[in-house]
Amino acid sequence: MTPAIRGTAAGTRARVTETLAWLERKGSKRNRDGMARYGIVAKKVFGVSVGDLRAHGKRVGRDHALALALWRTGWYEARMLAAFVDDPAEVTRAQMDLWARAFDNWAICDTICFHLFDKTPHAWAKIAKWAPSEHEFVKRAAFALIASIGVHDKSAPDAQFIRALRLIERAATDDRNFVKKGVSWALRVIGRRNAVLHQRALLVAEKLRASETPAARWIGSDASRELSSAKVRRIVASRAARQ
């Protein structure tokens, strides 16, 4: 496709058609069955591996218009690919809300948060907005974003994560499977960042472990087990020594 065509609406439609044809060729029943075993359920699925999607995203390059068009197709893999080709600088607040409301499984939620949404300037605002949501995967997205920022943004101040710990405590009573796993993920990532946050996160984990609420106890036990481990303590001590 020539550059003159590529930047047009017609060019975007052509690229979507090409991409869907590629996805259909790469898809397999074996991959679809594997996805189902891991609880990845979507209405329109080709069965393409994440590794293939990431490699194809690198070949395609950043293209915000293409990402939006891929999302609109409704195909699971096209939406996953959108995470790898969209430009975080062009993602809008409205787009984030629209996509989050369409999340229908943990994989699309986590991939969009981990590879795209956490790099936008709107991430912390969306965390605050989505954390109380009644929608299971919108709520999970809030905590997937906390975890994603915790992994990727080395310069984020401790104060933001300390505020996030309060959101974690409030959400810990939600017993929906994908919410409580997202909350635990966020708590464990916060606790691995540095010595101050390790202590804060461990205190929250121990408090939740003593809760009368089953979901909170599960989250507290899950996080406490990891954050108390010798491996994590060595990681935190090593990071403290480098500061």
Strands (DSSP E) contained in 69-187 are none
pLDDT at 243 over 50: yes
Q: Rounded to 5 degrees, what are φ and ψ at 157?
A: -70, 150
> 108: pLDDT confidence band, cut at 50, 70 and 90?
very high
DSSP string, 148-170: HHHHH-TT--HHHHHHHHHHHHH
pLDDT band of residue 242 (cuts 50, 70, 90) is: confident
Torsion, CA 62, CA 73, CA 40, CA 151, rounded to 10: 20
3-state secondary structure of 132: coil
Domains in the chain (CATH in brackets) are: 1-86 (no CATH), 108-243 (1.25.40)
- 8 Å CB contact between 80 and 50: yes
* Nearest by Cα to 229 from 202, 197, 194: 202
Is residue 3 scored above 60 in pLDDT? no
Name the maximum alpha-carbon separation found in the chain. 63
Q: Is the dihedral of CA 147, 90, 70, 28 positive or negative?
A: negative
For residues 208 and 88, what is the distance between their CA atoms, to the nearest angstrom? 35
> What is the predicted pLDDT for the residue at 4?
43
Residue 21 neighbours by CB under 8 Å, 6+ apart = none
The mean pLDDT of 114-123, rounded to a whole number, is 98
Question: Average per-residue pLDDT in the chain?
Answer: 95
Closest CA to 56 of 91, 20, 2, 105: 20
- pTM for this entry: 0.94
Percent share of the chain, pLDDT over 70: 97
Sign of the torsion formed by the C-alpha atoms of 39, 44, 47 and 50: negative
Q: Residue 50 pLDDT > 50, yes or no?
A: yes
Task: Please name the helix (run of DSSP H) or strand (run of DSSP E) that holds residue 35, with its range, or none.
Answer: helix 29-37
pLDDT average, residue stretch 181-205: 98
**Of 18, 69, 23, 25, which Cα lies nearest the Cα of 50?**
23
